[in-house]
Amino acid sequence: MLTDIAFWGIGLVAVLGGAAVFYVDSMARATYALALSFVAVGMQVLFLQQNYVGVVTILMMVMEMAIMAVYMVMFMGMNPALMPMSMVHSNKTAIAVALTTFLALATGILMVDWPTRRGSPPPDVTMALGESLMGPKMLVMAVISPVMVATIVAGVVLAAHRTRYDRFGDDLKQRPADDPQPGGVGR
């Protein structure tokens, strides 16, 4: 009973935190409202006995929101991130899309025949989740991850306006490299 109340209470925090993202007028508040929402979701996952997944959700989302605070100030022109600002735009379209999606999903939930439970939860639900997600596709996943990392690195390299010739000179012999931001290990 108490666990049920806690579970639903945390669910409410998650939903309200998510809604607050669009209601508040400051980037910092929006960012950390989203973090709060995700922490609540992570705690709900803890209630589902997925301890690892729950704690990792909290860890990753808090870290991500902290990083977002860096980008917020780095990349937003004229720094509106530091001033009060509206978190919404294209209101009419957004309301239409949101309502349509909600109605479609709600109809689906009400129309579909819900399956009855077969079997019982395995003793280690995290292991079972991992196996059913990754099991036969482990090779694909193992190949995709380095490809994804390579894509990110290639994207950054292509996007950066400075090349190795800017850093090391025309004959690539200039040491230490000429960087606008000096490194910490004297390269």
Rule CB under 8 A: which residues touch another protein? 3-4, 7, 26, 28-29, 32, 35, 46-49, 51-52, 55-56, 58-59, 62-63, 65-67, 69-70, 73, 181-185, 187
Q: Which one, 47 or 168, has the nearer CB to another protein?
A: 47
For the bound state, the minimum distance from the C-beta of residue 75 to another protein, rounded and expressed in Å, comes to 14
User: Alpha helices, DSSP H only, in 1-50?
Assistant: 2-23, 27-47
For the bound state, the minimum distance from the C-beta of residue 79 to another protein, rounded and expressed in Å, comes to 11
Q: Give the C-alpha separation, 122 to 126, whole Å.
A: 9
Q: Of 55, 34, 37, 59, which is closest to residue 46 (Cα–Cα)? A: 55
Q: Which parts of 23-181 are beta strand (E)?
A: none
Q: Which one, 77 or 123, has the nearer CB to another protein?
A: 123
Angle at 50 between CA 68 and CA 6, to 5 degrees: 85
Provide the greatest CA pair distance for the chain. Answer: 73
Residue whose tokens read 């870290």: 63
For the bound state, the minimum distance from the C-beta of residue 4 to another protein, rounded and expressed in Å, comes to 7
Q: Which one, 108 or 183, has the nearer CB to another protein?
A: 183
For the bound state, the minimum distance from the C-beta of residue 32 to another protein, rounded and expressed in Å, comes to 7
